[in-house]
Chains A and B, each alone.
Chain A
Amino acid sequence: MSILVVAEHDNETLASATYNAVAAASQLSGDIEILVAGSGTSGVAEAAAKIPGVAKVLNADSAEYANDIAENTAPLLVQLAPNYSHVLAPATTFGKNVMPRASALLDVQQISEITAIESDDTFVRPIYAGNAMATVQSTDSVKMITVRMTAFEAVAEDGGSASVEAIAGTGDAGLASFVSQEVSKSDRPELTTARIVISGGRGMKSGENFPLIESVADKLNAAVGASRAAVDAGYVSNDFQVGQTGKVVAPDLYIAVGISGAIQHLAGMKDSKVIVAINNDEEAPIFQVADYGLVADLFDAIPALDAELG
């Protein structure tokens, strides 16, 4: 049987998390098909068809899917799922919203946020904010799965030529209507895919001090993140949040500035390849996961780092 990957996109561009979900699917046995559900999605479907190893793209281009309303998309998944052995979606707010709704309607116990695949029915997933790893076996006939994107290296974007098949919409469920979306605009790389991330915590003292780390970020072509403490204090908006309840990142280099290292934050970044911690409290737990620690006042250290990078 085939595997269905539910694509995440904004109706114009295929989200990077989709490539990670396809990478997970490629470790299972079966052909990979991709579902693009949205409105005005021919470009997204074409991008999905170019992914090497994809057998077919299903393009459900219909108004009710324009804003990822779970009540509208779940019935489509319910209709398609019985034809597949597995349905995978990225464990982003998109996948976390729609997949459990579809799973319940299918009477399937979803497996959330897998980080490794042991076999076609056995998966590894973090529990307790990553403080333990559970190996679990699904007994359901269709495996409904969300994929932690940082655990699966994205597949190539080009080289394939899958066919695109248009499929009909399932209609508007009439339960929820879209009002608006506030999207943060930035010229910097996206937090979840950046090679380098520099994050500020409560030690930044104010949102007005974030330009200090933004300047360093620009020199390193890095994304800017924040701890929950910094977000809760109103220094930056919630889409900057790295942690168990925010975004999970695993860049080549993660620089934590003025972040103490609460368990919830560590859960979102401890799989980074190299971790740097800059904090004036040498007892801060962040130093326990840091490869390089600098005990210093960030208001001295960050301008110095900025200058050192030229």
Chain B
Amino acid sequence: MKVLVPVKRVIDANIKVRVKADNSGVETANVKMAMNPFCEIAVEEAVRMKEAGTVEEVIAVTAGPSQCQESLRTALAMGADRAIMIETDEVLEPLGVAKLLKAVVDNEGPGMVIMGKQAIDGDNNQTGQMLSALLGWSQGAFTSKIEVAGDSVNIVREVDAGLQSLTLKMPAVVTVDLRLNEPRYASLPNIMKAKKKPMDTTTPADLGVDITPRVNVISVGEPPAREAGVIVPDVATLVDKLRNEAKVIS
């Protein structure tokens, strides 16, 4: 079975993002970028499945400007076999990305798509579910356990009430949550090797997909700031403040 792993390049999770002065978006120039953390977990899971013999080939795919190749190289260094770069400078929305990925799935015929449950930039949490819908496949969203069993896959999903176990008919789109695994760091020899792994480049037009945005971003602003608080010397003062100043406990 082939597994397709879509990945996204985002502002590094450890960087504090800054809103642009003209409120058109957040500052991305000269900011450290990295693979979206949830995507790393997805790559790790696919590579582990290959190491366990469940999967023959792991294909990483991304869409965006040419710099996004960096994230594909990271995926290859982690153990993906080859990569597909869908190059575009257009604004990408989850529905457009899902359509691009559907076209790649139609070309490649993977038995499963494993991807992050959301990207930490747009925080949309949509693309996997949308891809699954467009393909007419089963969907396992927010998974913390994936076990392939013949022509089905047993998953555990992290839901608000606790954990939900489902059996999905293959092929399936599975989106991963944080507790699924701990992604590896790519070793230097593997980073070197990744440079020689194959990477195909295509475009939305080549794939025959219309990615025209549906949403106008009117403005991007700062969140409301909290006023500075005070340090209290001891527990008795804390309780007194909560009772008599903030009046949140009786």
Q: Is the CB of A176 within 8 A of B138?
A: yes
CB pair B167–A177 under 8 Å, yes or no, is yes
B222 to chain A, nearest CB (A): 7
In chain B, what residue has the closest Cβ to A121? Answer: B216
| A binding-site residues for B, Cβ under 8 Å | 10, 67, 69-71, 74, 92-94, 96-105, 107-113, 122, 126-140, 174-184, 192, 196, 220, 228, 231-232, 237-239, 244-245, 247, 252-253, 263, 270, 273-276, 282, 287, 289-296, 301, 304-305, 308-309
Q: Is the CB of A291 within 8 A of B230?
A: yes
CA distance A229 to B208 in the complex (A): 44
Residues of B contacting A140 in the complex (Cβ-Cβ under 8 angstroms):
214
- Of B42-50, B62-70, B91-99, B104-112, the stretch lying at the interface with chain A is B91-99
Judge whether A136 and B166 touch: CB under 8 Å: no
Q: Could you name 29 residue pairs across A and B whose Cβ atoms are closer than 8 Å?
A: A70-B129, A70-B141, A96-B125, A97-B139, A101-B132, A101-B139, A104-B134, A105-B134, A126-B223, A127-B121, A127-B220, A128-B17, A135-B220, A176-B140, A178-B165, A179-B165, A181-B159, A181-B163, A182-B164, A237-B163, A238-B144, A238-B158, A238-B162, A252-B248, A287-B231, A289-B229, A293-B231, A293-B232, A296-B234
Besides the known contacts A180-B164, A289-B226, 10 further A-B residue pairs in the complex with CB atoms under 8 A apart = A101-B129, A132-B223, A140-B214, A174-B169, A180-B165, A181-B159, A184-B161, A238-B162, A274-B246, A292-B231
Residues of B within 8 A of A (CB): 11, 13, 16-17, 19, 26, 93-96, 98, 117, 120-134, 137-142, 144, 154, 157-169, 177-179, 213-223, 226-227, 229-232, 234-236, 238-239, 241-242, 246, 248-249
Which chain B positions have C-beta within 8 A of A183? Answer: 161-162
Q: Once the chains bind, are B229 and A71 in contact (CB under 8 Å)? A: no
Distance of A136 Cα from B217 Cα, bound (Å):
5
A136 to B131, CA, bound (A): 23
Q: How far is the CB of B137 from chain A (nearest CB, A)?
A: 7
List the B side residues contacting A96 at CB < 8 Å: 125, 129, 141-142
- With contact pairs A93-B158, A96-B141, A133-B223 given, residues A103 and B123 touching in the complex (Cβ less than 8 Å): no
User: Given contacts A101-B139, A109-B214, A110-B94, are A308 and B235 in contact (CB under 8 A)?
Assistant: yes
Q: Determine if B121 and A128 form an interchain contact, defined as CB atoms under 8 angstroms apart.
A: yes
In the bound complex, CA of A135 to CA of B162 (Å): 33
Q: Which residues of A contact B128 (CB under 8 A)?
A: 100
A301 and B236 alpha carbons, distance in the complex (Å)? 10
Q: Is the CB of B162 within 8 A of A181?
A: yes
Cβ of A295: which chain B residues have Cβ within 8 Å of it?
231
The verdict on A101 contacting B236 (CB below 8 Å), with A94-B159, A108-B214 known, is no
Q: Is the CB of A139 within 8 A of B137?
A: no
Chain B positions within 8 Å of A294 at CB level: 231-232, 234-235, 238
Q: Are B126 and A110 in contact (CB under 8 A)?
A: yes
Residues of the A chain whose Cβ atoms lie less than 8 Å from the Cβ of B229: 275, 287, 289-293
In contact, B123 and A126 (Cβ under 8 angstroms): yes
Interface contact B160-A129, CB-CB below 8 Å: no
Chain A residue with Cβ nearest B144: A238
A291 to B232, CA, bound (A): 10
| Contact residues in B for A110 (Cβ distance below 8 Å) | 94-95, 124, 126
Residues of A within 8 Å of B248, CB to CB, are 196, 252-253, 273-274
Are A138 and B142 in touch, CB under 8 angstroms? Answer: no
A244–B123 CB distance below 8 A: yes
A177 cross-chain contacts in B, Cβ below 8 A: 166-167
Given contacts A70-B141, A138-B214, A294-B235, contact A232 B178 (CB under 8 A): yes
Residue of A nearest to B231 (CB): A293
- For the complex, give the distance between the alpha carbons of A182 and B223 in Å: 36
Interchain CB contact under 8 A, A113 and B133: no
Set of chain B residues within 8 Å of A132, measured between Cβ atoms: 17, 19, 26, 220-223
